[in-house]
Amino acid sequence: MKILYICSDTSSGMLPFATSIVKTVSKSENLDVYAITFDCDKPLYQTYLKDLPEDKIHFLEAPDNKIKKFLYKLYAIHILREVKKICSIHKIDVIHLLTSNDTCAPFVRQLKKIARLYYTVHDAIPHERAYTGIRDYLIRKYLLCFEKIITRKADCLVTNSQHQYMSIKSMYPHKRVLFQLFPSLIMSPILYGEKTCPEIIHLEKYILFFGQLAKYKGVEYLCEAFKNNKNLHEYKLVIAARGHVYFPHTDDPRIIFINRYIEDEEIKSLFTKSSCVVYPYISATQSGVLSIAYKFQTPVLVSDIPYFREVSDEKSCLFFKNADTEDLSKKLELLLFHTDLNEMKSAQKTFYKDNYSENAMIYSTERLYFGV
């Protein structure tokens, strides 16, 4: 079966998600994989997928001119032309929109006429969000509108979360909805990275949050729990996340904000040097953050939201009550002072092999297409 992936979102979550799937599924003996990628600002997909065969990966870029770039994003006719050409030459069976492909929404009907259309739904129900202004609000509404258009018109909807699978089934009862394992976000630059963030080069004991500063990730609960716990005085809290700090905070020498883009080569050091990583999300539909922690066998504390309960177990991580700073504080102490971390790390290694390995992803993806 011949699959054409379209990847047009290069945000910090979508880029490794799409890259991991394309590279891994390309190793399948039963699927013939092609891909079209679209880099709007930097040659990101070109950097991560450059080692794949040139005849299989087609890299597109937006022009430097701001007006032309805006028009390309508004109606990405160049993507449609490339799709038609590739599908005609290679007789593609399935077109799969892997990322939040708002650029493809205006011509989704044309894509359906060319081949069976799959769309990976990332957030069927939008996350809690703290807007930075009216422009941010309008852009978000614009993107959500286009995502809904694709969701309604695609032949098959794909999700990487069993919990979200049930939500989508109830929202679109007449749609074919399919489940696929979430890919590992570990790419070569992360796995073999040797850089250390200069902001923490001299730190020895620290608790880590890694990701983006977004309201649904509940970082304020972690900060409050950490500040109020006197038993953690020997530790620092490192918030390695880029974005708008949406909650009130005062300068605290024990809390270090690294509010910038974290290079892939810096991530390994961040995790392996940390005492533990905390994900205090108040909601999540699907996420690959645990794949990084489990690969580097970093002790993990997560909120007990449905998604984390779905993708982990009591042996691989510790859970705390969602949005409960008192319980978060207690579980931090339990994890750091009273937990057999060797047993946890061993469980993480096994969990990663069973759920994030290349074989697991290939098997899950083959079922996605051949099961229909």
Same domain, 209 and 268: yes
Residue 125 has a pLDDT of: 76
Which CATH number goes with the domain that contains 362? 3.40.50.2000
Same domain, 310 and 170: no
Same domain, 236 and 313: yes
Alpha helical stretches, state H, 57-177:
66-74, 77-90, 108-114, 134-153, 162-171
Residue 119 host element (H or E): strand 116-120
- Confidence band for 372, pLDDT divided at 50, 70 and 90: low
pLDDT at 288 over 90: no
Taking the C-alpha atoms of residue 3 and residue 19, their distance in angstroms, rounded to an integer, is 15
- Each residue of 146-174: b (16+ CB within 10 Å) or e? bbebbbeebbbbbbbbebbbebbeeebee
Same domain, 10 and 129: yes
Mean pLDDT of 258-265: 93
Tens digit of each residue's pLDDT (9 = 90 or more) over 151-188? 999 999 999 998 899 999 999 999 999 999 999 999 88
Residue 39 has a pLDDT of: 83
Task: Output the CA torsion sign for 235, 318, 291, 122.
Answer: negative
Same domain, 21 and 166: yes
Taking the C-alpha atoms of residue 222 and residue 209, their distance in angstroms, rounded to an integer, is 9
Domain that holds residue 169: 2-184+357-370
Determine which of 39-53, 185-199, 293-307, 330-344 has the lowest per-residue pLDDT on average.
39-53
Residue 33 has a pLDDT of: 97
Same domain, 244 and 171: no
Number of domains in the chain: 2
How much is the mean pLDDT over the chain? 90
Mean pLDDT of 337-357: 93
Mean pLDDT of 96-107: 86
Determine which of 106-120, 136-150, 248-262, 318-332 has the lowest per-residue pLDDT on average.
136-150
- 3-state secondary structure (DSSP) of residue 277: strand
Same domain, 203 and 133: no
How deeply is 318 buried, as exposed, middle or buried, from its count of CB atoms within 10 A (0-12, 13-18, 19+)?
buried
Answer with the residue of higher pLDDT: 280 or 127. Answer: 280
Residue 56 has a pLDDT of: 94
Same domain, 90 and 174: yes
Residue 251 has a pLDDT of: 79
Taking the C-alpha atoms of residue 235 and residue 203, their distance in angstroms, rounded to an integer, is 9
Same domain, 162 and 269: no
Residue 186 CB neighbour total at 10 angstroms: 21
Mean pLDDT of 80-102: 92
Which range, 75-79, 134-138, 334-338, is most confident?
Answer: 334-338
Same domain, 74 and 178: yes
Same domain, 140 and 242: no
Nearest CA to 293 among 276, 311, 318, 314?
276
Which range, 45-49, 69-73, 125-129, is most confident?
Answer: 45-49
Percent of the chain with pLDDT strictly greater than 70: 98
Same domain, 329 and 343: yes
Residue 284 has a pLDDT of: 83
